[in-house]
Amino acid sequence: HVVTKKPPTPSPLRNSKFFQSNMRILVTGGAGFIGSHLVDKLMENEKNEVIVADNFFTGSKDNLRKWIGHPRFELIRHDITEPLLVEVDQIYHLACPASPIFYKHNPVKTIKTNVMGTMNMLGLAKRVGARILLTSTSEVYGDPLEHPQTEEYWGNVNPIGVRSCYDEGKRVAETLMFDYHRQHGIEIRIARIFNTYGPRMNIDDGRVVSNFIAQALRGEPLTVQAPGTQTRSFCYVSDMVDGLIRLMEGENTGPINLGNPGEFTMMELAEVVKELIEPSVSIKIVENTPDDPRQRKPNITKAKQLLGWEPKITLRQGLPLMEEDFKQRLGMSKKA
């Protein structure tokens, strides 16, 4: 009985002429809000193969349903606090709950995701020589004493508060990125994302835009947390995805602020949602949560100069684009 050793089967994708210069891209947190829109954009390019690793804590397969079964797409149920072995060229590292309700739900887990999760993704990047992009946050500026915030500002963060698992977690994640870069020569990119909104946000995740839109559609009062004069700057998700891809493909490590400089008080936001979605709803002031930043607005000079990027969609244009998606998921749409 002679055992003939079979030669390894060549991967049809890797070896086809069509895919010769293909790029294999890992998106952690790709089943979430921003991640799934990023996957949609990456999949438009026929040279990209996309692998999503997600534990479905705040994301869902539903966000990726159009890609499940596609030959250039793979979805792995995986918690990034555990090591991950895949062979990739680029890593978009988004995995981390972003809404205060969810990141405060299990704060120790949020820290593990930011610290151990980011270290695992850096270990992976180091082993395979991949370029890695971290989605950090404007929360690294804390309750900022500089306004608008530039990337040079070091921030004003409470290290022991209820938001610290997220803010400080992301700050350590940024530190890890730079230490792996300096010590091991990893190619890194850091985006500091300011509040982003759009279709597929979790309906009841407590973030202000999703709250107000769901409340308006249900005919409930819009809950402005006191005092209502605190500000945020809201970026539409397609603009954000465009910025993330430019940052990954460009030559600058960052950190680079990505956000829409249009700044609104929460009372103004409520008025705009009321006007655009349901003029008959009322606005009520409710209690706020601890350590709520009083103001936030990105200085995006760097993104403009280094990435040629700036947001195109205003708040008034973007809010109505969420309406149909929310109506469908709330079972209110004729299309549902």
Binding region for ligand NAD (CB under 6 A): 29, 31-35, 54-59, 79-81, 94-98, 113, 117, 135, 137, 193, 195-196
Task: Note the maximum CA span of the chain.
Answer: 83
Kindly state whether residue 182 participates in binding ligand UDP, applying the rule CB under 6 A.
no
- The yes-or-no answer on residue 166 being catalytic is yes
The item of ligand UDP, ligand NAD, none sharing an interface with residue 100, based on CB under 5 to 8 Å by kind, is ligand UDP
Measured from the CB atom, is 110 or 211 closer to ligand UDP? 211
Q: Which of ligand UDP, ligand NAD, none is residue 199 near (CB under 5 to 8 Å by kind)?
A: none
Contacted entry of ligand UDP, ligand NAD, none for residue 227, CB cut-off 5 to 8 Å set by kind: none
Minimum separation from the CB atom of position 225 to ligand UDP (A): 4
Compute the radius of gyration of the chain from its Cα atoms. Answer: 21
Q: Report the alpha-carbon distance of residue 81 to residue 101 in Å, rounded.
A: 20
SS3 assignment for the chain: CCCCCCCCCCCHHHHCHHHCCCEEEEEECCCCHHHHHHHHHHHHCCCEEEEEEECCCCCCHHHHCCCCCCCCEEEEECCCCCCCCCCCCEEEECCCCCCHHHHHHCHHHHHHHHHHHHHHHHHHHHHHCCEEEEEEEHHHHECCCCCCECCCCCCECCCCCCCHHHHHHHHHHHHHHHHHHHHHCCCEEEEEECCEECCCCCCCCCCHHHHHHHHHHHCCCEEEECCCCCEEECEEHHHHHHHHHHHHHCCCCCCEEECCCCEEEHHHHHHHHHHHHCCCCCEEEECCCCCCCCCCCECCHHHHHHHCCCCCCCHHHHHHHHHHHHHHHCCCCCCC
Taking the complex as a whole, the smallest distance from the CB of residue 279 to ligand NAD amounts, in Å, to 27
**224 contacts ligand UDP (rule: CB under 6 A):** yes
Nearer to ligand NAD, 135 or 149 (CB): 135
Span 46-65, contacts to ligand UDP by CB under 6 A = none
Binding range to ligand UDP, per CB under 6 A, among 32-40, 69-77, 200-208, 317-325: 200-208
Which residue in the set 230, 233, 238, 257 belongs to the binding site for ligand UDP (CB under 6 A)? 230
- Residue 165 binds which entry of ligand UDP, ligand NAD, none, CB below 5-8 Å type-dependent: none
Q: Name the closest residue to ligand UDP (Cβ).
A: 123
Give the one residue of 232, 297, 302, 329 binding ligand UDP; rule: CB under 6 A. Answer: 232
Residue 55 vs 238, nearer CB to ligand NAD: 55
Identified binder of ligand UDP from the candidate list 113, 164, 195, 257, rule CB under 6 A: 195
Catalytic residue among 92, 103, 166, 180: 166
Does the footprint of ligand UDP cover residue 100 (CB under 6 A)? yes
In this structure, how many other beta carbons lie within 10 angstroms of the beta carbon of residue 328? 14
Q: Is 119 in the site for ligand UDP (CB under 6 A)?
A: yes
Closest listed residue to residue 241, CA positions, set 24, 19, 32: 32
Euclidean distance between CA atoms 229 and 296, whole angstroms: 12
Which listed option, ligand UDP, ligand NAD, none, makes contact with residue 164 (CB within 5 to 8 Å by class)? none
34 binds, among ligand NAD, ligand UDP, none (CB under 5 to 8 A by kind): ligand NAD
225 binds ligand UDP (CB under 6 A): yes
Give the separation between CA 187 and CA 193, rounded to whole angstroms.
Answer: 19
Give the catalytic positions in this structure: 166
Binding site for ligand UDP (CB under 6 A): 83-85, 100, 119-120, 123-124, 126-127, 195, 206-208, 211, 223-225, 230, 232, 266, 288, 292
